[in-house]
Each structure stands twice: as C-alpha cells, then as structure tokens.
Chain A
Amino acid sequence: MTALRNVWAIVEKEWRHYFGSPIAYVALMVWTLLFGIFFYFAFSLFLRQSMMAAQQMEFGGGPKMSLNEWLIRPVLHNMAVVALFIAPMLTMRLFAEEKRQGTIELLATAPLPDLQIVLGKFLAAVGLYGLMIVAGLANLALVWHYASTPPEWKPVLTGALALLLFGACFIALGVFVSTLTRNQIVAGILSFCLFLGIWTLGWADDPSAGPVMRAVAYLGVTTHMEDMVKGVVDLKDVVFYLSFIAFGLFLAHQSVQSQRWRA
C-alpha cells in the first residue's frame, strides 16, 4: 500500500511539472496537430482511391476498401515515428533535472526505495503519452460519425495499445538515459539517437534474411507492432514489449543505485 502511495506521489509530482511547464502542452499540441495532418492526408488519399475503385466497379472489378487498412493503420504507423521524436521530450528531464537542481538528494534521503522513484517517473511519462494517444484518437471519431460502414473498432484499440507499448519502451529507456547525466539536453539527444538506432534494427526485417539478421530485426521495436495494428494481439509481441520495458527500468534502477557508490 505504501509502495503504491509513494509511486503515486511521484507520478503526481511529475504531472505537476509537466503541466506546470510548457512541456505537456507542447507535446500534446505537436502530437494532435501531426495526428490531424496525417489523418487528413490519409483520408484524402483514401477518398481518391475509393473514388477510383468506384469507377472500376462499373466495369465489374475492385474490392471494397477497408477504412481500417487504408486510413487508420497508416496514421498509427506515422504516429509511431512521431513518438520517436516526442518520447525524449518527455523523459529527458526526469532524472537529469533532479540532479542539476540537487533535489535528487531530497528523493534519495526520503524513506522510499529507488525503484519506486524510477517507477513513478516512468508511469508519469507513460501517463502523459497515453493522454496524447487518446487525444489523437479523437480524430477518428469523425470516421465513425460519417462513414456509411464504420470501421472495426477492435483493430483501432489494439493499434492504440501497440502505440502505447511501443512508446513505453522508449520511455523506459529514456528514463535510464536521463539518470546518466545532469544535463537534460544531453539526455534528450542521447535518448533520441538511441531510439533511432533501435528503430533502424527493424529495417533488417526481411523474410529472406539469415538467422542473425532475423534476430536483430526481432529486437527492433517496430517489428512487433505490425500484427497488433492489424488487430491481432500475439502474446509474444506483448511479452516482448513488457520485457523491453522491464529491461529499461532495470537499467535505470541500477544506474540510480550505482551512482551512490560512484559519487
């Protein structure tokens, strides 16, 4: 119980920082704006394509186009790229700023274990990121309102879940990187480079590739999104994401603890 209360106190405090500064508003604004733009482009492309398909129909061909496949899926994929840019913004100051301000001494001498501090900070960032996803999904409400045959909602939910898990991986790693320095800009740039590196691992995903490349691709966080965005939640993907997050938090926890020894 006390553990939960402590973690929650940290979450609350971080949210106060996020919303007491421009960070939360900038992140929300950029995210929803880009969501809207991608949605608009995907939507107009969908309209053109379906118009052409309708014309072809007159000649007896062309399948009915799925909104899920043509509209929602590409938008979610694009937003994964945006998450790559925004995650460092959310995590870079979490520990770096505490160290710079000296407030880490307050947290470290308070009667709560380091793990609870790490968890609180992670959950605070994930919470804000989750809020961003929800705000972005509001765009899709339009589709339900106007579409003659509304899209399936299950793939949308699993897609959002994929986006959340995928971003949470970056956030967990970002928390770790933030423990390494007292300069939040350095933390931000390092995190971004690290995320980009992990992202590119996914490019090795090619059915014709050898076992080594397949293994490398497996570590790329993007490869595990595919099925979920299509609406299939495979246990192995969820386990992959959860273990990736646990690994990031483990590194962060170790880093926080070891700093006392090295200080």
Chain B
Amino acid sequence: MIEVENLTKRYGRTTAVDGVSFRVQKGEILGFLGPNGAGKTTTMRILTCYLPPTEGTARVAGYDVFQSPLEVKRRVGYIPETPPLYPDMDVDGFLDFCAKIKGVPGASRKARINEAVEKTRIGDVRGKLIGRLSKGYRQRVGLAQAILANPDVLILDEPTAGLDPKQIIETRELIKGLGGDHTIVLSTHILPEVSMTCGRVVIINKGKVVAEDTPENLTRRLRGAGTLRVDVRGEAEPAAEAVRSVPGVIAVRARPESADTAALEVETEAGRDVRAEIARAVVSRGLDLLALQPVGMSLEEIFLHLTTTDAAHGEAAPAARTEEVSA
C-alpha cells in the first residue's frame, strides 16, 4: 500500500531524512519510532504530499506523491502532531467543512460525519466550539477529521501526545480497531504504544532507518546482545570482577541483593553465548552461582540501544553498529 524508496529530504544543509526505505502492506499498522528530530514528521509530511522529497520516491496505493498528489491525498487521512483545527468553528461545522474539501459527496456526507463522530466518541461535544474543547477532545476531533473520507491509508503523527492515560488507552483501542480496514502508519516515541498497537516497527534515527521488524522479532533478535542476570552468593565486587574477565562481556553492573548474595547485570556481545564461560568464571573464584538467565530486552532498551551511543552500550546492538549513531 505504501512504498518508500530511498527517500531523502534536505532543508538547506541539514538532512532531515536520509535514504529511508520501507513498505507497508494493506491493512498493516506500522509504528514509526524515533527520538524527537529523527525525521518522523518530515517523512509523514512527504507521504501526505505536504512536502516534496529531495530525492527518492514514495508511492501510496500505487500513486507517486510527486506525480499525482491529488490521487494520493484522496486516499490518505492525516493528523499532524498538533491537530489542525479552527478554534472558532464548532465540531459539526468543522467536520462538515472537512468532508466538503475531502470530496465526500453531499448525499453521504451526513452519514460519514456521524460515523466518524461515533467512532471517535465525540458525540457529546458536537455543538461546541473547538477552541473550548480539552486537549483530549481536540485530538479526537483531529482523528475524526482524518477518518472522515474513509481513506485507505491513515497517517497519524503522535496521535496520543498530550493525552491522559485513560484517553491514551481509548485512542490505542480505536487505532487498533481501524487497522485491517485501513493501512496505518503512526509515529510515536512512546514505546509501549508500539508493542501494543503495531504489527511492525521502523526505528528511525537521524533520518536513517536503523531497524525494521515486528516488535517481537526485534526483541528476540537483540536478546543475544542483551542482558544476562547472574545471581551469586558472595560479595558483589569480586563476582563482578570475575565476570568482567570473561571475553565477550561488555559491561557488568553489580548490586548487593541481600547480606550474602549479589545480582549482576551482564551485557554481552551480540550473537555470542558466554553463559558457560560466565558460570565457570564465577565458580572458579569460589563463589556460588545461584542463577543465570537471559533477560529479554524491552522495546525501550532496544530503542535506547539503537538510538544512543554510550561508552558501555554503543557496541551492543548489531544494527546500531553498522550505523553511526550517537546520543
């Protein structure tokens, strides 16, 4: 449904998006993840024909955003980061205007508006001025506007930004419900959101794609590079010392667990299983090994691994190693 190839956008000398490529299948929900300023919004603006790309191509439903923007716009519903609303219009008037400029035919306009209002649950504020609505309602009016013309593709730039926890959950449910019928690209820097709503994640940093996979696969793929939890009986420091001497170990964080036990968090190189060596090292120093288990990385950790470089973490992630990334 969406094909992005080698997309590049430069603003003067700065490169906001740098050779980004990805595809989104019909009905899929793609999470677009990255720190602020990574190029998420710029990519979305190109997909919605708001900005032209400097290089590369983007196609939505087979139409190129540059060659046939009207065809693309007809098939895309979009909410920018701050929903574009007219504060001096009431909700119904606003949606009516949006339906008109989106080319919803007059006969079905009322029905479409009612459906969008129902889906986004803004029925109780229909007659109110948008300027008087709370942030949560405004966000939902923005969403109603986006789904109004029943577009094939929805592009949502941080749809849950600024909402309270209850509203966030409601919005996520709504987005999940829209998947299947609609192809959705949503950007966020809230990680649980991605694992909860998206079938696939593209992680972008400094304008480049640094990883692309399902949330589960990303976690699995990076587990090898992830963390081992080692519980030992004895002093924390000598234990840490012992583990550190094992080749393949990148970093060790030790903390006393109780009077005579300590817990170590051991980071190891990717694709290298050093559990046996660690066990031997611990035992040979006369310490008791109580437990040794791999800890799956949360998306949060993966995200940090991929998008930050830190003396200890920099080499950890396989994808990060090939890209020059820094904090």
Taking a contact as CB atoms under 8 Å apart, the answer to whether B52 and A102 are in contact is no
Q: Which A residues from 1 to 58 make CB contacts under 8 A with B?
A: 2, 5-6, 9-10, 12-13, 16-17, 20-21
- B180 near A: Cβ within 8 Å? no
| B12 CB, min distance to chain A CBs, angstroms | 9
Known contacts being A105-B80, A260-B52, is A110 close to B73, with CB within 8 Å? Answer: yes
Taking a contact as CB atoms under 8 Å apart, the answer to whether A110 and B102 are in contact is yes
User: Residue among A103, A107, A109, A111 with the most chain B CB within 10 A?
Assistant: A109
In this complex, how many residues of chain A approach chain B with their Cβ under 8 Å: the count is 27
CA distance A104 to B45 in the complex (A): 12
Taking a contact as CB atoms under 8 Å apart, the answer to whether A111 and B51 are in contact is no
Taking a contact as CB atoms under 8 Å apart, the answer to whether B97 and A9 are in contact is yes
- B50 near A: Cβ within 8 Å? yes
- A74 near B: Cβ within 8 Å? no
- B84: which of A6, A21, A102 is its contact (CB, 8 Å)? A102
Taking a contact as CB atoms under 8 Å apart, the answer to whether B88 and A21 are in contact is yes
Taking a contact as CB atoms under 8 Å apart, the answer to whether B88 and A109 are in contact is no
The digit string for B39-55, where 1 denotes a CB below 8 A from any CB of A, is 00000000011111000
- A110: which of B52, B86, B87, B101 is its contact (CB, 8 Å)? B101
- B176 near A: Cβ within 8 Å? no
Contacts of B82 in A (CB 8 A): 102
- B299 near A: Cβ within 8 Å? no
CA distance A110 to B84 in the complex (A): 12
Taking a contact as CB atoms under 8 Å apart, the answer to whether A105 and B50 are in contact is yes
Known contacts being A9-B97, A110-B73, A110-B101, is A260 close to B86, with CB within 8 Å? Answer: no
Taking a contact as CB atoms under 8 Å apart, the answer to whether A10 and B50 are in contact is no
Known contacts being A101-B84, A105-B80, is A2 close to B145, with CB within 8 Å? Answer: no
Taking a contact as CB atoms under 8 Å apart, the answer to whether A9 and B50 are in contact is no
Taking a contact as CB atoms under 8 Å apart, the answer to whether B84 and A105 are in contact is yes
CA distance A9 to B89 in the complex (A): 14
- A111: which of B50, B73, B84, B87 is its contact (CB, 8 Å)? B73
Contacts of A103 in B (CB 8 A): 84-86
Taking a contact as CB atoms under 8 Å apart, the answer to whether B103 and A111 are in contact is yes
Q: Which A residues from 128 to 164 make CB contacts under 8 A with B?
A: none
- B51: which of A2, A104, A260 is its contact (CB, 8 Å)? A260
| A256 CB, min distance to chain B CBs, angstroms | 12
Contacts of B78 in A (CB 8 A): 105, 109
The digit string for A103-117, where 1 denotes a CB below 8 A from any CB of B, is 111111111110000
Taking a contact as CB atoms under 8 Å apart, the answer to whether A111 and B74 are in contact is yes
| B126 CB, min distance to chain A CBs, angstroms | 16
Contacts of A212 in B (CB 8 A): none
Known contacts being A102-B82, A260-B50, A261-B52, is A112 close to B88, with CB within 8 Å? Answer: no
Taking a contact as CB atoms under 8 Å apart, the answer to whether A109 and B48 are in contact is yes
Known contacts being A103-B85, A263-B51, is A109 close to B93, with CB within 8 Å? Answer: no
Known contacts being A9-B100, A111-B103, A261-B52, is A106 close to B89, with CB within 8 Å? Answer: no
Given A20-B89, A105-B78; 7 other pairs, CB 8 A cutoff? A6-B101, A21-B88, A103-B86, A106-B98, A107-B101, A111-B70, A260-B51
Listed A/B pairs (23) with beta-carbon separation below 8 Å:
A2-B103, A6-B100, A6-B103, A12-B97, A12-B100, A13-B86, A13-B89, A13-B97, A21-B88, A101-B87, A102-B82, A103-B86, A104-B84, A105-B80, A106-B98, A109-B49, A109-B73, A109-B76, A110-B102, A111-B70, A111-B73, A111-B74, A260-B50
A residues near B (Cβ < 8 Å) are 2, 5-6, 9-10, 12-13, 16-17, 20-21, 101-113, 260-261, 263
Closest 10 A-B residue pairs measured CB to CB? A9-B100, A106-B84, A111-B73, A103-B84, A111-B74, A110-B101, A109-B48, A20-B88, A105-B80, A109-B78
